[in-house]
């Protein structure tokens, strides 16, 4: 989720095959995929998917790595993280960082030409994956070496391996979940109600968004982390930065993303069966969780890992949900070994 990972703390992603235009690594690009049929049966009109690429597609075309964004994250936040020791080294891989639907870059309530605000249809994490699949095919990418992502990006990764099991060789969901726990649903739903109330009450909108920002900020790390890293006299003032960041976001975009988090469930197409869902997965999977995560409970991911016989890494530090960024010196080399193995 957003402030956990900044452009300095984590990712940056790949580069697609050569095109008629000379694109530089990290340039913002868009793929127009037309109308997208959603899981709800509704249609997302004139869908555009934002992306950035880093590195080069090799002669065999087998080194592409897709990296979706987290909640309220954009590919601009990722672009400094694709070197040695990062999520994926663009000297080795063709990294494609993709903006998830509703993040204000790809088609979202704030930028849709025909479905702005409340007219924007309800989307799911699966819909995000469907838009990315269409984008990749449009770009001529028919197979990926790997999919990986953090937080909501990890949720998209879980969707990828169950929805398109033959499309990738490997997957690395990081502090994501195949399905939210009761605690997760309480956390996401509380945020969703706060932002919806903010939209409905214009006179108190900024106060409601600030309140949501405050409890979101508290969940990103652990109490122990804040006690160690935030002075008492700076405690209240420390909330201001995250409040300002969330006030800059369109509240309709936030509600679309939070709603997608609430409905995440990779087991649903398999009649709720975790075992049948795991049996459908073909990719080799490396699952990373944070034991003290207050934003995405690690239990469902670890349970799924057992059924997948997946390699796991449990980050135990006080940063909690922010642990991937804080422990990249440990995590980056482990991901590199997995991708090369």
Residue 204 lies in a domain: no
CA distance 116 to 52: 25
Residue 333 lies in a domain: yes
The CA-atom distances, in angstroms, between 57 and each of 83, 139, 140, 145, 177 are: 16, 12, 11, 11, 30
For the residues 322-328, what does the mean pLDDT come to?
A: 96
Residue 229 lies in a domain: no
Whether residue 4 is predicted with pLDDT greater than 70 in this model: the reply is no
Question: Domain containing 132 — which CATH number?
Answer: 3.40.50.1820
Q: Write down the pLDDT at residue 24.
A: 79
pLDDT in tens, 276-311: 999 999 999 999 999 999 999 999 999 999 999 999
CA distance 108 to 116: 8
User: Count of domains in the chain?
Assistant: 1
**CB within 8 Å of 257: residues ≥ 6 apart:** 71, 72, 100, 102, 103, 152
- For β-strands 29-37 and 43-54, DSSP reports them as antiparallel
201 burial level (CB within 10 Å; 0-12, 13-18, 19+): exposed
Q: Are 14 and 82 in contact (CB under 8 A)?
A: yes
Range in 21-30, 219-228, 260-269 the model is least confident about: 21-30
pLDDT in tens, 245-281: 999 999 999 999 999 999 999 999 999 999 999 999 9
Residue 286 lies in a domain: yes
**CB within 8 Å of 7: residues ≥ 6 apart:** 76, 77, 78, 79, 80, 81
Residue 172 lies in a domain: yes
Residue 138 lies in a domain: yes
For the residues 15-20, what does the mean pLDDT come to?
A: 30
Query: Token pair 């924007």 is at which residue?
Result: 120
pLDDT in tens, 196-218: 999 999 999 999 999 999 999 99
| Domain span including residue 128 | 2-183+257-340
CA distance 164 to 329: 31
pLDDT in tens, 54-75: 999 999 999 999 999 999 999 9
What six digits make up the tokens of 209? 């968004």
């Amino acid at each position: 989720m957003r402030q956990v990972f900044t452009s300095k703390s984590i990712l940056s992603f790949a580069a697609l095959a050569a095109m008629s235009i000379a694109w530089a690594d990290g340039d913002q690009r868009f793929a127009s995929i037309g109308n997208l049929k959603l899981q709800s049966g509704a249609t997302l009109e004139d869908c555009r998917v934002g992306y950035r690429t880093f590195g080069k597609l090799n002669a065999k075309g087998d080194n592409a790595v897709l990296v979706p964004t987290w909640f309220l994250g954009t590919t601009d936040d990722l672009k400094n993280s694709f070197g040695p020791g990062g999520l994926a080294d663009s000297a080795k891989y063709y990294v494609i960082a993709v903006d998830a639907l509703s993040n204000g870059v790809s088609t979202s309530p704030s930028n849709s030409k025909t479905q702005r605000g409340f007219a924007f249809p309800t989307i799911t994490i699966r819909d995000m994956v469907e838009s990315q699949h269409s984008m990749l095919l449009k770009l001529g990418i028919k197979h990926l070496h790997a999919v990986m992502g953090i937080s909501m990006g990890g949720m998209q990764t879980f969707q990828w391996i169950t929805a398109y099991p033959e499309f990738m060789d490997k997957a690395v969901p990081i502090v994501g979940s195949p399905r939210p726990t009761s605690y997760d649903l309480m956390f996401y739903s509380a945020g969703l109600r706060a932002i919806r109330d903010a939209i409905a009450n214009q006179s108190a909108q900024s106060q409601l968004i600030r309140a949501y920002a405050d409890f979101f900020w508290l969940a990103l790390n652990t109490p122990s982390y804040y006690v160690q890293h935030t002075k008492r006299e700076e405690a209240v003032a420390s909330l201001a930065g995250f409040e300002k960041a969330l006030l800059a976001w369109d509240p309709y975009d936030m509600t679309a993303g939070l709603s997608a988090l609430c409905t995440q469930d990779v087991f649903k197409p398999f009649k709720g069966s975790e075992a049948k869902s795991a049996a459908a997965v073909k990719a080799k999977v490396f699952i990373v969780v944070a034991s003290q995560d207050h934003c995405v409970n690690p239990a469902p991911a670890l349970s799924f890992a057992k059924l997948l016989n997946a390699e796991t890494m449990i980050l135990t530090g006080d940063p909690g949900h922010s642990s991937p960024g804080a422990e990249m010196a440990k995590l980056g080399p482990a991901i590199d070994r997995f991708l090369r193995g």
